[in-house]
Amino acid sequence: MSGSRQLKLGAFMRPASIHTGAWRYPGAFSDANFNFAHQKRFIQTLERGKFDAYFMADHLAVLNMRIDALKRSHTATSFEPFTLLSALAAVTERIGLVATGSTTFDAPYHVARRFASLDHIGNGRAGWNIVTTSNPDAALNFGLTEHVAHDERYPAPASSTTWSPACGIPGPTTPSSATWTPASTSIRKSFTCSTTRARITRSAARSTSPARSRAGP
Amino acid sequence: VIVQAGASEAGRQLAAETAEAVFTAQNSIAQAKQFYADVKGRMEKLGRARDHMKILPACFVVVGETMEEARAKRAKLDSLVDYANAIASLSIALGADASKFYPDGSLPDTPETNQGKSARERAIAMAQRENLTVRPAPRRLRRPCHGRYAEDHRRRDGRMADGGRLRRVHHHVPYLPGGLDDFVGKVVPELQRRGIFRHEYEGKTLRENLGLPRPRNRFF
């Protein structure tokens, strides 16, 4: 069972499906966002179907929608992904466990340690979906008042991520040089992410971002 | 295993440098090919082997015994989306407030924002190509996957695989639990019968199953 004609199947999961109308479909579990038994059933079904990986997408804030839209949404928010995937690791054997981990707000150590733990709990099944965070409301959850600019969220082209021994997670290419300090109003902060050697400048200006204004009260 | 999903310039470069699996959604087979060639080409320039990254295009699969049944299920699903919620989802894709747009007017071009780039570009390109109005835009953004439609294959994944191009799929489950149960109960056995999908896992780890090499220990 190998060779280029073989399919690989991953599953892009949201707790109640990715489709915003799915929670109202006949037979749907409308409480799936915070019901572990349902998530366990889904991943065990996928494993029975020999899927390569289960991927749970994540956001670091409630969706930035007006409340009238949010009330009719399939998922306003759900389980924290490492808590969920660690539990799912214990009820599965072979399927990959892929979680979203944002580099926008956490220090490299936080991210590396969580994925290393998940990888060992699942016996080598962890995957890290590297993201930067685009939801402007997430910045507010980390004590920032303005969102990090797109180009600053991504590393400089000369960056390099290298690999740690057992589990294939990235480690620092240089001795740890994270110097992040919590931002405060009107002070320009910066930190160097040693994982990617990206210099991310955090602007903590007082103004509210346009996207935040859009999101409403 | 390192996974990456953004398709902007910075995202592609990050993928080429670090990713071992890439999740992507492209509007057409031509664009998907261009994306594939671009990212793999960037990998080569960086000295990485092309095969050390698996690209998984998104595939929203609705399973039906016939095409008509699958289309009816899709229409039913789309009909359950609340309008305010759909417009809010579109707003997130565009980084602009779509609730201010006239629902039956053309989807206007909106400026680039600080939010995700590729989702906005994909939405605008599709709207322009198809003369799309605002109201149906959100559901058009989630289309069934592309594939060669041949013979009497009732399931889209089979068609895609028969097209001979698609070897990795990121399956977007349309609704739960029924859509997933149908896929695993009906589509997977069909793919296995055709000899294009495994009956058992090849390895124990995600890396082994995806066919990725184990990284070298760089510490000791």
Using 50, 70 and 90 to split pLDDT, how confident is the model at A169?
Answer: very low
Rounded CA gap, A31 and A41, in Å? Answer: 14
The secondary element (H helix, E strand) that includes residue A202 is strand A198-202
Q: What is the pLDDT of residue B106?
A: 76
Share of chain B above pLDDT 70, in %: 84
Q: Is the pLDDT of residue A201 over 80?
A: no
Nearest C-alpha in A relative to B140: A19
How deeply is B31 buried, as exposed, middle or buried, from its count of CB atoms within 10 A (0-12, 13-18, 19+)?
middle
The candidate with the shortest Cα–Cα distance to B191, out of B24, B61, B26, is B61
Q: What is the pLDDT of residue A148?
A: 66
pLDDT tens profile A17-31: 888 888 999 999 989
Which 8-state DSSP code applies to residue A98?
E
Q: Is the pLDDT of residue B160 over 60?
A: no
Region A137-162: mean pLDDT is 65
Nearest-CB residue to A96 (from B13, B78, B206): B206
Please state, as a whole number, how many other Cβ atoms lie within 10 Å of the Cβ of residue A2: 8
Q: Please write down the HEC assignment for all residues of A173-192.
A: CCCCCCCCCCCCCCCCEEEE
Q: What is the pLDDT of residue B139?
A: 67
Query: Contacts of residue A170 in chain B, CB cutoff 8 Å?
Result: 2, 18
Q: What is the pLDDT of residue A203?
A: 34
Residue B13 touches chain A, beta carbons under 8 Å:
yes
Q: Which of B22-26, B35-39, B82-86, B147-151 has the lowest mean pLDDT?
A: B147-151
Q: Which of A14-18, A114-118, A168-172, B177-181 has the lowest mean pLDDT?
A: A168-172
Q: Is the dihedral of CA A184, A185, A191, A196 positive or negative?
A: positive
pLDDT tens profile B84-114: 888 887 777 777 787 778 777 777 777 777 6
Going through B5-92 in order, the beta strands assigned E by DSSP cover 21-24, 54-60
Q: Is the pLDDT of residue A161 over 80?
A: no
Quote the minimal CA–CA distance from A164 to chain B in Å.
6
Nearest-CB residue to A130 (from B2, B87, B113): B2
Using 50, 70 and 90 to split pLDDT, how confident is the model at A35?
Answer: very high
Residue A51 touches chain B, beta carbons under 8 Å:
yes
Residue A168 touches chain B, beta carbons under 8 Å:
yes
Region B59-71: mean pLDDT is 84
Quote the minimal CA–CA distance from A65 to chain B in Å.
6
Q: Return mean pLDDT, chain A.
A: 72
How big is the A-B interface in CB pairs under 8 Å?
Answer: 265
Q: Which of A97-106, A184-193, B106-115 has the lowest mean pLDDT?
A: A184-193
Contact A6 B198 (CB under 8 A): yes
Residue B28 touches chain A, beta carbons under 8 Å:
no
Q: Is the dihedral of CA A161, A166, A167, A172 positive or negative?
A: negative
Q: Is the pLDDT of residue A173 over 90?
A: no
Contact B206 A46 (CB under 8 A): no
Residue B4 touches chain A, beta carbons under 8 Å:
yes
Nearest-CB residue to A211 (from B95, B167, B170): B95
Residue B121 touches chain A, beta carbons under 8 Å:
no
Please, which residues bridge with residue A53 across strands? Answer: A10, A96
Q: Which residue has the higher pLDDT, A70 or A56?
A: A56
Q: What is the pLDDT of residue A165?
A: 26
**pTM for the complete prediction?**
0.77
Q: What is the pLDDT of residue B176?
A: 92
Using 50, 70 and 90 to split pLDDT, how confident is the model at B142?
Answer: low
Rounded CA gap, B153 and B62, in Å? Answer: 14
The candidate with the shortest Cα–Cα distance to B133, out of B103, B163, B111, is B103
Q: Which residue has the higher pLDDT, A74 or A164?
A: A74
Using 50, 70 and 90 to split pLDDT, how confident is the model at A128?
Answer: very high
Residue A182 touches chain B, beta carbons under 8 Å:
no
Q: What is the pLDDT of residue B116?
A: 66
- If DSSP codes are grouped into helix, strand and coil, which group holds residue A84? helix
Contact B85 A164 (CB under 8 A): no
- The verdict on ipTM greater than 0.90 is no
Residue A34 touches chain B, beta carbons under 8 Å:
no
Q: What is the pLDDT of residue A80?
A: 96
The rounded Cα B34 to chain-centroid distance in angstroms is 15
The candidate with the shortest Cα–Cα distance to B136, out of B126, B147, B121, B146, is B126
The CA-CA-CA angle for residues A70, A74, A76, to 5°, reads: 50
Residue A150 touches chain B, beta carbons under 8 Å:
yes
Region B184-189: mean pLDDT is 91
> Which range is most confident: A18-22, A132-136, B28-32, B90-94?
A18-22
Residue B206 touches chain A, beta carbons under 8 Å:
yes
Nearest C-alpha in A relative to B88: A65
Residue A142 touches chain B, beta carbons under 8 Å:
no
User: Six-digit token pair at A96?
Assistant: 């990959």
Q: Is the pLDDT of residue B154 over 60?
A: no
The candidate with the shortest Cα–Cα distance to B101, out of B113, B86, B115, B116, is B86
Quote the minimal CA–CA distance from B131 to chain A in Å.
23
Residue B158 touches chain A, beta carbons under 8 Å:
no
Please state, as a whole number, how many other Cβ atoms lie within 10 Å of the Cβ of residue B60: 20
Residues contacting A3, CB < 8 A, separation 6+: none
Q: Which residue has the higher pLDDT, B88 or B36?
A: B36
Quote the minimal CA–CA distance from A39 to chain B in Å.
10
Rounded CA gap, A55 and A133, in Å? Answer: 17
User: Six-digit token pair at A11?
Assistant: 């599953």
Q: Which of A44-58, A72-86, A158-172, B68-82 has the lowest mean pLDDT?
A: A158-172
Nearest-CB residue to B196 (from A5, A21, A149): A5
Q: Is the pLDDT of residue B155 over 50?
A: no
